[in-house]
Chain A
């Protein structure tokens, strides 16, 4: 298995532009998570899906952020419009809920810089 695949690896955009981050979870995993990591705030859960349904989006900062999971093999996180304070590393992770001793598998992340 290729693991959790995220794209792009790096994104530099101007303030006000729309940014779309993409994630392909591990085949067979039924939970998908979007995390944001910064030095100041550490690893923050933005939203998570179970069986393609959003379960908890309480971590989504504001209306500028939206996430979708149209099918079991693809998810997007969109920021519109982007702001400099959105600069961070965004991780997607997947797991198999209900399986004991099963941790999250993280993707390599997308480093977003908003200038």
Chain B
């Protein structure tokens, strides 16, 4: 079945440093979504990417979808303590699957002052 891996699994940064998490799918995706889960909380939808090579920005967050639609990245510029949490990518397969998303393994971000 479809597998979605993320690296790194954990990342500790000093406040103000940049952060990037990478997402790789074993199969081609029709679209990819990103979610953030705060400690003790639930995943919250951030954004969806659909087109090959698409880049979207949300303030300090930059999301990219690979040309082959099998990988994606999330980059945070100048991290803040409010960025703490686990970031998940989630992909929808090209064939079948309907509305089903396969979530990645997640990257846990810790930001130290």
Contacts and interface: CB of A to CB of B under 8 A. Distances in A.
Chain A interface main SS type: strand
Nearest to A98: B99
Contacts, number: 55
A106 B44 contact: yes
A107 interface: yes
A50 B99 contact: yes
Interface in B8-67: 33, 35, 41-46, 48, 50
Given A43-B103, A104-B43, A109-B42, A55 B88 contact: no
A56 B101 CA distance: 12
Given A100-B50, A107-B42, A56 B98 contact: yes
A106 B42 contact: yes
Instruction: Name, among A43, A50, A109, the residue most crowded by chain B CB atoms within 10 Å (CB to CB).
Output: A43
Contacts of B100: 33, 45, 48, 55-56
A36 to B, nearest CB: 11
Given A48-B99, A97-B99, A109-B42, A103 B50 contact: no
Contact of B98 (A50, A103, A109): A50
B105 interface: yes
A101 B48 contact: yes
A107 B41 CA distance: 9
B48 A42 contact: no
Contacts of A101: 48
B9 to A, nearest CB: 10
Contact of B99 (A31, A43, A100, A105): A31
A43 to B, nearest CB: 4
Interface of B: 33, 35, 41-46, 48, 50, 88, 90, 97-106
